């Protein structure tokens, strides 16, 4: 998506540890017009899939998930992150590893809001090694929900998570696909 790629080129900052900082429009301050356009694009790609719920992880996926849900006319649901795996019976849970914080955590969603009746579109801001997306997919599997696919704002393709999950049969649509990035040479899109 050209609009998003241009914005990443203009305002994205490549940090050590393969982290792209996009705090000026996606991860801290939010550019609602840009996110609305990204949300509309993702929603358009999945409009015929019978999506009943958009699922993301707190906190950085929430903004983009809301805009996708707005265009699909369904609720957005975010998995909460719990440091303990000692959780109650009223939730679906899946383990994940945090790319940015380096720790393991458990994602949980109340059984009240996700069930075998649902067809889910998973949405997230970034796809790197795929741990977050895998955990969100596992939550759906645990709940017996159907997964229509995943809509991602920014995929760092060279980190391989996307390819692995696609090979497992998950449909993934990424709005900006980064082939490589470093502080000196900048960002190269696929």
Interface pick for ligand 5GP out of 127, 147, 148, 153 (rule CB under 6 A): 127
> Which is nearest to 99 in space by CA: 74, 84, 81?
81
Q: What tokens appear for 88 in the block?
A: 């109650």
> Which is nearest to 66 in space by CA: 30, 106, 22, 95?
30
Site string for ligand 5GP, 82-101 (x = CB under 6 A): -----------------xx-
Q: Are strands 104-110 and 91-97 parallel, antiparallel or unpaired?
A: antiparallel
Smallest separation (angstroms) from ligand 5GP to the CB of 166: 13
Between 132 and 140, name the residue whose CB sits nearer to ligand 5GP: 132
Interface size with ligand 5GP, residues (CB under 6 A): 20
Told to check if 24 binds ligand 5GP by CB under 6 A, we report: no
Between 82 and 131, name the residue whose CB sits nearer to ligand 5GP: 131
Which segments within 33-84 are labelled E, that is strand?
53-57, 76-82
């Amino acid at each position: 998506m050209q609009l998003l790629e241009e914005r990443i080129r203009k305002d994205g900052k490549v940090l050590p540890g393969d982290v792209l900082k996009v705090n000026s429009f996606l991860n801290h301050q939010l550019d609602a017009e840009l996110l609305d356009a990204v949300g509309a694009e993702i929603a358009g790609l999945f409009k015929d899939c019978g999506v009943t719920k958009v699922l993301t992880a707190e906190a950085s996926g929430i903004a983009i998930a809301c805009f996708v849900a707005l265009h699909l006319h369904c609720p957005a649901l975010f998995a909460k992150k719990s440091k303990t795996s000692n959780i109650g019976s009223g939730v679906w849970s899946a383990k994940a590893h945090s790319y940015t914080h380096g720790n393991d955590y458990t994602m949980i969603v109340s059984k009240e809001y996700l069930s075998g009746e649902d067809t889910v579109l998973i949405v997230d801001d970034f796809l790197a090694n795929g741990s977050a997306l895998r955990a969100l997919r596992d939550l759906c599997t645990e709940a017996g929900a159907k997964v229509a696919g995943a809509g991602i704002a920014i995929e760092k393709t060279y980190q391989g998570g996307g390819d692995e999950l696609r090979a497992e049969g998950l449909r993934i649509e990424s709005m900006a696909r980064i082939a490589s990035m470093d502080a000196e040479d900048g960002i190269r899109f696929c």
